[in-house]
Amino acid sequence: MPNFAQPIITTMQNINIHSEIGNLQGVIIHTPGQEVEKMTPENAERALYSDILNLSVASEEYRQFKGVLTKHCEVFEVKNLLSDILLDEQVKSGLLESVCKAEGVPTLKEKLNRLSHTETARQLIEGVELIRDNLTRFISDERYSLRPLHNFLFTRDASISMYNKVLVGKMASNVRDRESIIMDAIFKHHPRFGVETISVTSQNTNDIKIEGGDVLIARHDVLVIGTGIRTSTQGIDFIIEAIKKQNKHPHHIIVQELPESPESFIHLDMVFTMLDKDTCMVYEPLIMTHNRYRTIHITIDNGQVKSIQTLPNLLSALKNTGIDLKPVKCGGDDTWHQEREQWHSGANFLAIKPGVIIGYERNNYTADALNKAGFNIIDATDIIENGRPIPESKTLITIAGAELARGGGGARCMSMPVQRDEVK
């Protein structure tokens, strides 16, 4: 098992993530494509959506998100990275073998192997239509041999940059397993990365589940992890064991229990994100008030779990580690506004540098709360079209999100950082 927690590295590395807020240098995204158009009301629930998206509207909104990122850092597209590695015939054969075996369609490998690298990449993401060339397939209710990856725009979940390694997640629903297989192959074989991956799928158990929306790196020695319907306690135990075996220095894991419903609570970053060295965004009813969802502080030192204790809330647990954060309330002070804006990812922000964050413009009360906390509010189009430079201090950059928010995720969900500068 590789060493998770190593000292902060100041030189450029393939993977270098030691915080949630350090200046972003590189990020992996996936611009939504035809896989989104292939959702129907009938299959939306199976695809983990509560609604279907309008691709033309979602694409225009996503253009703002990508546009801001491109002005600030190096941006990698999943489809391009996948296409690159498929140029290697051996890599292509191995990846197709893994995908087709995992999804129970071994005979499909030969067909996909004959396609060009770009077409193979497209079909692995957008789906492979079922050829009805025998009786079983003719009468099948399925439309695809490989279903479209409707959720791949949320690149945060399938793989997790942790320090200078990549943890390949084990998704809670098997409809997303192919995302993890693809990201594992990209990190292993793309010349831009070629890093060591830690694959949960190597463990012979169905109890381990880890998704990136639940894993926040608060500091080089502090992880904050949510446990609920997407990340299991066994998944967190997997991370604990890795740290115990390889790290001799003190390390903290703060676990926040999450409700199983409503679906807007699927990940920790839907109720808590870090904004600056001294500021965080919280959904107050879960993070700040007394409730039945526990916050558990685990301390690891010299390869042993030294203590496990329940603390009043997430912020008090972080304060015990020396991280003292002022909370900004998602939705402001009104409980109705809090509930409404949390539903549309009002607590889900991506920091591109300390205090400079991206979020949806539709969450007006959250933006007002940020403004009162000292954040300036600017529109993404000022940066993309008017040439306004990325600010250096507390600023919310708003992107359109009337359609994207219906997919169940925000700016943090739609980004998988691979490089951040050290936070002084």
Convert the pLDDT of each residue in 229-259 to its tens digit.
Answer: 999 999 999 999 988 887 678 999 999 999 9
- DSSP letter (8 states) at residue 407: G
Name the pTM for this structure.
0.93
Convert the pLDDT of each residue in 123-157 to its tens digit.
Answer: 999 999 888 778 877 787 788 899 999 999 999 99
Question: For residue 320, which amino acid is it?
Answer: N
Q: Where on the phi/psi map is residue 355: left (φ > 0), alpha (ψ -120 to 50), or beta? A: left
**CA end-to-end span of the chain:** 29
The whole-angstrom separation of Cα 151 and Cα 49 is 8
Q: Are strands 416-420 and 24-29 parallel, antiparallel or unpaired?
A: antiparallel
Residue 1 has pLDDT above 70, yes or no: no
Given CATH 3.75.10.10, say whether it is the number of domain 24-420. Answer: yes
Locate the domains of the chain by residue range.
Answer: 24-420
Residue 46 has pLDDT above 60, yes or no: no
